Chain A
Amino acid sequence: MSIRDNAWAMAHALEKKEISAVELANQHYEQIASVDKDVHAFLYLDKEGALSQAKEVDKKRAAGEKLSPLAGVPLALKDVMTQKGVPTTCGSKMLEGWRPPYDSTVVTKLKSAGIVILGKTNMDEFAMGSSTENSAFGPTHNPWDLTRIPGGSGGGSSASLAAFEAPLAIGTDTGGSIRQPAAVTGTVGVKPTYGGVSRYGLVAFSSSLDQAGPCARTVLDAALLHQVIAGFDPKDSTSINRAVPDVVAAAKKKDIKGMKIGVVKQLAGDGYQKGVENKFKEAVAELVKLGAEIIEVSCPNFEYALAAYYLIAPSECSSNLARFDSMRFGLRIGDDGVKGAEEVMNLTRQAGFGREVKRRIILGTYALSSGYYDAYYGSAQKVRTLIKRDFDAAFEKCDVLISPTAPTTAFKIGEKSNDPLAMYLNDIATIPVNMAGIGGMSLPCGLAEEDNLPVGFQIMSPAMKDDRMYLVGGALEAALLSKWGKPILDFAPKLAGSK
């Protein structure tokens, strides 16, 4: 039993009492103590809470109680999900020191499954960014190369997996914030169908796009975590009241003979790094060997996805972030008994929000202003319909669609931080999935020859058919593993002090 094992193997070792949940949590805290000064995946460690959770699991196991499959396995939680009594900052000064009085539904489900929450992971402020450089508490570094970004916004969650600080993590994906970090860190990340996992207690950025999902080192681990957190929740009015697809069985099946897999023509070519395209093509060849039929599909309206996304997301964020008004929680600046509420609110927002958040609030406020609403937000929502129609037409011919997850491998920290448009383009292949609300997965498909950095392979499945991406992902992962002879993370340089 090692911290480099996958969550499934850890769960087995726990079940056979080869290790206790407390020992396993402590081993991960030791790894965090050794490597996180370099990686900076975590913003907060809840050692006391985690160990008491672990102790509880050990006690139940000793008493012979029936436990859930992942009971006792540790997890890293993106700092955008509320956890009662544990600081939740969303990577912002605005919420520094805030301890939410309630658990998000995802956390409630994790706790009742006995999953041990080690701490909160770093992220771009309020999940706005593709590099985790927009965190008010400093960037996270990619464990493959500490001078590079770990993706974003959930860079902390993915980096924690790649650095073996946790075997499981929770992310949230509004335009690619689970999948793109997974791609650039050589890990697995899944954005479930919108409405598949409750948003209750997920601090809202863009409500019609935000979706929490599982992050892990293997497809099966992601499926096991998916099963824990998914399902209807009356506390989220957009939650889907249907049975959760059997993603675990799908991940284990590994038989894709006869499946029709569509390659999206528009998600390739200009702007895609050569090594990314090559690794993608090699993975497609593996799918052919496994008996899948590959079809090229065209989604002409994807061309408008990025533009529409950068109207919808800022518009909804400008409305959602209005709650940070310094009155009920979070930061308050300048309250000297003389200044009025409006002035205090202005001073607080000036000091509390970072540049990217301010940029998006300003863009969104403009797009929603009287006289512009129909032209901007209204048109963008219509583009969503067109994108959805493209997907619908493609899914008539194919069971799943595939593409590279991100156009490039991990870029250097600082390389794009002064060029928002270049940063936004990194999400070009992930955004259509959010716009249509369907499911999307990223899994590693190799190392780009130019820079020896991981490349992400994206699988997209129709709404509430999330099992299909796990089926294809599980089969592809197994084929690639036998080709490589070892997991992709074993090719990464060892971090100083790492186990």
Chain B
Amino acid sequence: MQEVAGADVPATSHPLAVNNVSREDVVTPSLTPVETLSGAPASEDQRFKVPQILGEE
């Protein structure tokens, strides 16, 4: 691939030229905390409960 992909060839990631996308800053419906946590292996007080991240010290 490096034989043909020289410095003069740009990269492609989308077939059409797409610009960065943003939207108006308005509130739209989203998942409730209960829905968000519904698939979690463990949760507590409306938060994801995870194994300890830091060591004992």
Contact = CB atoms under 8 A, between A and B. Distances in A.
B38 to A, nearest CB: 5
Chain B binding surface SS class: loop
B15 A304 contact: no
Interface string A461-472: 001100000000
Interface residues of A, number: 48
Interface residues of B, number: 31
A101 B31 contact: yes
B55 A340 contact: yes
Nearest to A316: B13
Nearest to A377: B11
A436 B53 contact: no
Contacts of B39: 98-101, 328-330
B57 to A, nearest CB: 12
A317 interface: no
A383 interface: yes
Given A335-B41, A382-B9, A386-B4, A237 B14 contact: no
Interface string A196-220: 0000000000001000000000000
Nearest to A381: B11
Given A99-B39, A102-B31, A208-B13, A195 B18 contact: yes
Given A195-B15, A208-B14, A329 B40 contact: yes
Interface in A91-108: 98-102
B31 to A, nearest CB: 6
B2 interface: yes
B1 interface: yes
Interface string A294-312: 0000000100100110010
A304 B36 contact: no
B14 A195 contact: yes
A388 interface: yes
Contact of A335 (B10, B16, B23, B51): B51
A326 B4 contact: no
A361 B51 CA distance: 24
Nearest to B11: A381
B5 interface: yes
A175 interface: no
A437 B15 contact: yes
Given A193-B15, A234-B23, 19 more contacts: A101-B31, A208-B13, A307-B1, A326-B41, A327-B40, A329-B41, A331-B41, A335-B51, A340-B51, A340-B52, A341-B52, A341-B53, A383-B1, A383-B5, A384-B11, A384-B13, A386-B9, A388-B15, A437-B14
Interface of B: 1-2, 4-6, 9-16, 18, 20-21, 23, 31, 35-36, 38-42, 48, 50-53, 55
10 nearest CB pairs, A to B = A437-B15, A382-B5, A329-B39, A332-B41, A381-B11, A101-B35, A384-B12, A463-B15, A379-B5, A237-B21
5 contacts: A98-B39, A195-B18, A208-B13, A308-B1, A388-B15
